[in-house]
Chain A
Amino acid sequence: MAVSAEKISVHSIADLKNTSDDAIPNYLNSLGFTQSHTLSDTRLALGYSAFAICAATFCWDYQFGFESTKYYTAVAVLLYSILNGALTFWIWAVEKGTVYVGTNKNGDKIQVATKTQKHVPIYNVTITTYSKANPTVPNPISLKKPFTQWFDKQGHFVSLPFQQMFASNVSVIGKADPTKVVEKKKVANVEGANKSMDEKWASLLAESSGVSLDDLSGGTAAGTGSVKSKGRPKKN
């Protein structure tokens, strides 16, 4: 389950972001966080009521023609634009890219918002935690990581480094999932997916001993080099 079976196009930032966004709720829910859907439910409610108005307008327009219903249509157009405006405002000013809101068993709240820029393959994650003792004081952590850290060249999502990124940087998550915490804020490389069995073992060992792969690779540089050149040539 470390590597997803699905493949996405690595040239599409939208795909990279969406796949990563989807992985966040899965991961956090598996750690015992209870997800709150208030934000997305409000968005859906706004959107679908706007659609309901549109559907009603379509029906009476179809049934009774334009002339006899134009005043209702005028009101409907106004309502629709208000609802649509509210929806836009909600997405832009309230959700602000929030993909997850949840609380753990201790009552600590966590909110994750993500963002990408056009043509820049970097995942901007802002994790805001609110401890139970101080529920009004936000404690934001911002991360900027290239997608290459958890997508391999074929476009498979590799969950280990992704989860390590969260566990290592956010103490609430780290506490819930201590095995994924990697010291010195270094996480396993996606390159691991292409490496030989030996190296995978090495990285596993490194994880369990709490030493990051990058630290380890310094010691076995010669070995790694020889393995790589002997092994199958790099794709692409």
Chain B
Amino acid sequence: MHSTVVRAQNVFGFFTTVAFAVAALIAFTDLITPRTPKANISMSKVEVVRGRPNYYSTKKEEYAVLRFNLNADFSSLMNWNTKQLFVYVSASWPNSTSSEHTNEAVIWDTIITSPSADHLQNIGPAAMKKLKKSAEGKTIDPSRGKINLKNQKAKYQITAPGGRLAEKNDVVLKVHYNIQPWVGVLTWTPQIEFGKWKMMKGGVSKLFNFPALKVKKAADTTSR
């Protein structure tokens, strides 16, 4: 009983200790890596139509379709512990009763993987080959953190419970990010400056209004 089992236990115990210590160290390096994200977002086109926003929608409702411009530099967020960067754009608008932006919906998102996580992406073989080639020989590719979109169509139409969306005022688009580490703490766009992590420069659009409901003819030509 003594030698073999105890030795195996000791070896395994030592292995786990070392593995966790290394993981903790790696996670810690996030804190000492500066983050200086910047983004510029503007709405380019918006319309509100009535119809079925999704193929599984049971009833017709009002929904908003948007186009936007996004110019962002998140290259400082791509470090050796970044598995993926999840960038998303949300639209938020207040309730009729308050001026607080109490409603928020994601209209567009993208997953930017580190070269080390490319193989995990759920994309076709051709796209995968291209993606892998784009960062050949690199373990970190900060250039992937640069986003430049002109008149980009939203991926998700905006809906609201109750189905009323037209003529809502003070809508704003915001850019957010979520860093998924290889190990450690997940981080989102910081609300306050935190050590070497600066707040995002820009990333909020000018206020705009949802227009009145668009006339019937466009209603059923949804994107899907």
Which residues of A line the B interface, CB within 8 A?
9, 11-12, 15
**Closest beta carbon of chain A to B25's beta carbon, Å:** 26
Rounded to whole angstroms, the CA-CA distance of A11 and B1 in the bound complex is 11
Instruction: Kindly report which residue of chain B lies nearest to residue A12, judged by CB atoms.
Output: B2
Residues of A within 8 A of B1 (CB): 9
The digit string for B3-47, where 1 denotes a CB below 8 A from any CB of A, is: 100100000000000000000000000000000000000000000
**Closest beta carbon of chain B to A194's beta carbon, Å:** 23
Rounded to whole angstroms, the CA-CA distance of A15 and B6 in the bound complex is 12
**Closest beta carbon of chain A to B47's beta carbon, Å:** 45
Rounded to whole angstroms, the CA-CA distance of A87 and B1 in the bound complex is 29
**Closest beta carbon of chain A to B1's beta carbon, Å:** 8
**Closest beta carbon of chain A to B5's beta carbon, Å:** 11
Instruction: Kindly report which residue of chain A lies nearest to residue B6, judged by CB atoms.
Output: A12
Listed A/B pairs (8) with beta-carbon separation below 8 Å: A9-B1, A9-B2, A9-B3, A11-B2, A11-B3, A12-B2, A12-B6, A15-B2
Rounded to whole angstroms, the CA-CA distance of A9 and B1 in the bound complex is 9
Instruction: Kindly report which residue of chain B lies nearest to residue A15, judged by CB atoms.
Output: B2
Residues of A within 8 A of B3 (CB): 9, 11
Rounded to whole angstroms, the CA-CA distance of A12 and B6 in the bound complex is 10
Which residues of B line the A interface, CB within 8 A?
1-3, 6
Instruction: Kindly report which residue of chain A lies nearest to residue B1, judged by CB atoms.
Output: A9
Residues of B within 8 A of A15 (CB): 2
Rounded to whole angstroms, the CA-CA distance of A12 and B3 in the bound complex is 8
**Closest beta carbon of chain B to A89's beta carbon, Å:** 25
Rounded to whole angstroms, the CA-CA distance of A11 and B2 in the bound complex is 8
Residues of B within 8 A of A9 (CB): 1-3
The interface residues of chain A, by DSSP majority, are classed as loop
**Closest beta carbon of chain A to B8's beta carbon, Å:** 14
**Closest beta carbon of chain B to A236's beta carbon, Å:** 15
The winner among B1, B2, B3, B6 for most chain A CB atoms within 10 A is: B2
**Closest beta carbon of chain A to B119's beta carbon, Å:** 38
**Closest beta carbon of chain A to B7's beta carbon, Å:** 10
Rounded to whole angstroms, the CA-CA distance of A12 and B2 in the bound complex is 7
Residues of B within 8 A of A12 (CB): 2, 6
Residues of A within 8 A of B2 (CB): 9, 11-12, 15
**Closest beta carbon of chain A to B23's beta carbon, Å:** 26
Additional pairs, 6, CB under 8 Å, beyond known A11-B2, A15-B2:
A9-B1, A9-B2, A9-B3, A11-B3, A12-B2, A12-B6
Rounded to whole angstroms, the CA-CA distance of A15 and B1 in the bound complex is 11
Closest 6 pairs between A and B when the two form their complex, measured CB to CB: A9-B2, A12-B2, A11-B3, A11-B2, A15-B2, A9-B3
Rounded to whole angstroms, the CA-CA distance of A214 and B16 in the bound complex is 50
Residues of A within 8 A of B6 (CB): 12
**Closest beta carbon of chain B to A225's beta carbon, Å:** 34
Instruction: Kindly report which residue of chain A lies nearest to residue B3, judged by CB atoms.
Output: A11
Rounded to whole angstroms, the CA-CA distance of A15 and B3 in the bound complex is 12
**Closest beta carbon of chain B to A128's beta carbon, Å:** 32
**Closest beta carbon of chain B to A11's beta carbon, Å:** 6
**Closest beta carbon of chain A to B150's beta carbon, Å:** 49
Rounded to whole angstroms, the CA-CA distance of A11 and B4 in the bound complex is 12
Rounded to whole angstroms, the CA-CA distance of A15 and B2 in the bound complex is 9
Rounded to whole angstroms, the CA-CA distance of A12 and B9 in the bound complex is 14
Rounded to whole angstroms, the CA-CA distance of A11 and B3 in the bound complex is 8
**Closest beta carbon of chain A to B2's beta carbon, Å:** 4
Rounded to whole angstroms, the CA-CA distance of A20 and B2 in the bound complex is 17
**Closest beta carbon of chain A to B140's beta carbon, Å:** 41
Residues of B within 8 A of A11 (CB): 2-3
Rounded to whole angstroms, the CA-CA distance of A2 and B3 in the bound complex is 27
Instruction: Kindly report which residue of chain B lies nearest to residue A9, judged by CB atoms.
Output: B2
Rounded to whole angstroms, the CA-CA distance of A9 and B6 in the bound complex is 12
**Closest beta carbon of chain B to A56's beta carbon, Å:** 31
**Closest beta carbon of chain B to A95's beta carbon, Å:** 25
**Closest beta carbon of chain B to A217's beta carbon, Å:** 33
**Closest beta carbon of chain A to B70's beta carbon, Å:** 42
Rounded to whole angstroms, the CA-CA distance of A12 and B4 in the bound complex is 12
Rounded to whole angstroms, the CA-CA distance of A18 and B167 in the bound complex is 82
Rounded to whole angstroms, the CA-CA distance of A164 and B37 in the bound complex is 77
Rounded to whole angstroms, the CA-CA distance of A11 and B10 in the bound complex is 15
**Closest beta carbon of chain A to B99's beta carbon, Å:** 35
Rounded to whole angstroms, the CA-CA distance of A11 and B6 in the bound complex is 11
